[in-house]
Every structure is written in structure tokens, then in C-alpha cells.
């Protein structure tokens, strides 16, 4: 097999695999999760754990969030539009970039308001923060959820946070 054919086949397989990953659901075009320090080969780089619970009941989504946050932060987005959801996902990327293990849970829309989202930050299986955002305040989601995530991690996992030297 010639190199050109092998590259084409491999490129097609790789592109198909990327299209199927949950991370592809949200763009990583934002300047988040860009490590500037080299990481030792033996250390695995953190990634956002993406979970969708949109087809579950509210209680089912809460169970998913609690389970996902046993040893990490979980940012839970209830409803909202794509812009608000993306900003919350970008906050999760920021937290991971800081070394804070983070899950992102897309939950069902339980308030029924078009473009509005309710968000929670879970840590150690417990909700630690709540917020609500309308489409006009999407620019506030990322910094606020990032700060809420740091505060929740500080409260629930102080020894792990101290090791990060934030």
C-alpha cells in the first residue's frame, strides 16, 4: 500500500472517530485547555467528562451529576441555548486546564423558558452552587461557573486543591 493511500485511509478513520466523540459536541475553539507547560509522559492529561442526561427525569439527572462528582467537580446545565451551554462547557475546560477534574452534565430543561438555563456545580456528590442565566447574560456564564467550580473544589477537596497551588 502506498503512503498516500495509507494516509487517506487513516485520515478518514480518524475523522470519523472524532465526529463520534462526546467532546466533539462542543467546540474547543475557545482559548481554554491550552497547556503551556510540558507534562511528563507518565502523567495523563485531564479531560472533561461529558455526560448527557437530557432524556432522563430531573431526579435521574441529579443522580448522574452526584455520581459524576464523587471525586471531581460537575457543572450541570439544565436547558438553555447552545451559546449558554457552550460557555458552561468552556468553564469546564478552564477548570481541567487548571488541573481540577471536571465533568459536564447536560440535563433536561426543567424551567421551559427558551434560552434560559439553570446551572449547578456539584462536588463530592453534593450540589454546592446554583445559578440561572438568560441569553442576554451568556458572557457571564464562563467566568462565574469557573469561579463556582474552584470554590466548590476548595470546599469539597481542600487537600487536592492545595496540591495544585492555585
> Tens digit of pLDDT for each residue in 55-72?
999 999 999 999 999 999
pLDDT value at position 57? 95
Query: What backbone torsions phi and psi does residue 21 show, to the nearest 5 degrees?
Result: -80, 145
Q: Is the pLDDT of residue 40 over 80?
A: no
Q: What is the spatial distance between Cα 121 and Cα 101, in angstroms, rounded to a whole number? A: 13
pLDDT value at position 101? 97
Q: What is the spatial distance between Cα 74 and Cα 91, in angstroms, rounded to a whole number? A: 11
Q: Is the pLDDT of residue 107 over 60?
A: yes
pLDDT value at position 16? 42
pLDDT value at position 163? 80
Q: Name the band, by pLDDT with cuts 50, 70 and 90, for residue 100.
A: very high
Q: What is the spatial distance between Cα 22 and Cα 101, in angstroms, rounded to a whole number? A: 17
Q: Is the pLDDT of residue 77 over 70?
A: yes
Q: Is the pLDDT of residue 29 over 50?
A: no
Q: What is the spatial distance between Cα 49 and Cα 65, in angstroms, rounded to a whole number? A: 11
- Where does 25-101 show beta strands of DSSP type E? 49-52, 73-79
Exposure string over 39-78, b if 16+ CB within 10 A, otherwise e: eeeeeeebebbbbebeeeeeeebbebbbebbeebbbbbbb
pLDDT value at position 129? 97
Answer whether 82's CB lies under 8 Å from 51's CB. no
Amino acid at each position: 500500500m502506498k503512503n498516500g493511500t495509507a494516509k487517506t485511509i487513516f485520515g478518514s478513520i480518524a475523522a470519523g472517530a472524532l465526529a463520534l466523540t462526546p467532546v466533539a459536541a462542543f467546540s474547543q475553539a475557545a482559548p481554554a485547555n491550552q497547556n503551556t507547560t510540558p507534562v511528563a509522559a507518565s502523567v495523563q492529561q485531564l479531560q472533561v467528562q461529558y455526560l448527557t442526561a437530557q432524556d432522563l427525569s430531573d431526579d435521574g439527572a441529579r443522580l448522574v451529576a452526584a455520581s459524576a462528582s464523587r471525586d471531581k467537580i460537575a457543572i450541570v446545565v439544565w436547558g438553555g441555548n447552545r451559546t449558554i451551554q457552550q460557555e458552561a462547557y468552556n468553564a469546564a475546560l478552564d477548570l481541567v486546564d487548571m488541573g481540577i477534574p471536571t465533568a459536564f452534565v447536560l440535563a433536561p430543561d426543567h424551567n421551559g423558558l427558551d434560552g434560559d438555563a439553570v446551572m449547578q456545580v456539584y462536588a463530592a456528590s453534593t450540589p454546592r452552587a446554583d445559578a440561572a442565566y438568560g441569553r442576554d447574560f451568556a458572557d457571564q456564564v464562563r467566568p462565574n461557573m469557573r469561579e463556582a467550580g474552584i470554590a466548590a473544589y476548595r470546599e469539597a477537596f481542600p487537600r487536592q486543591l492545595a496540591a495544585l497551588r492555585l
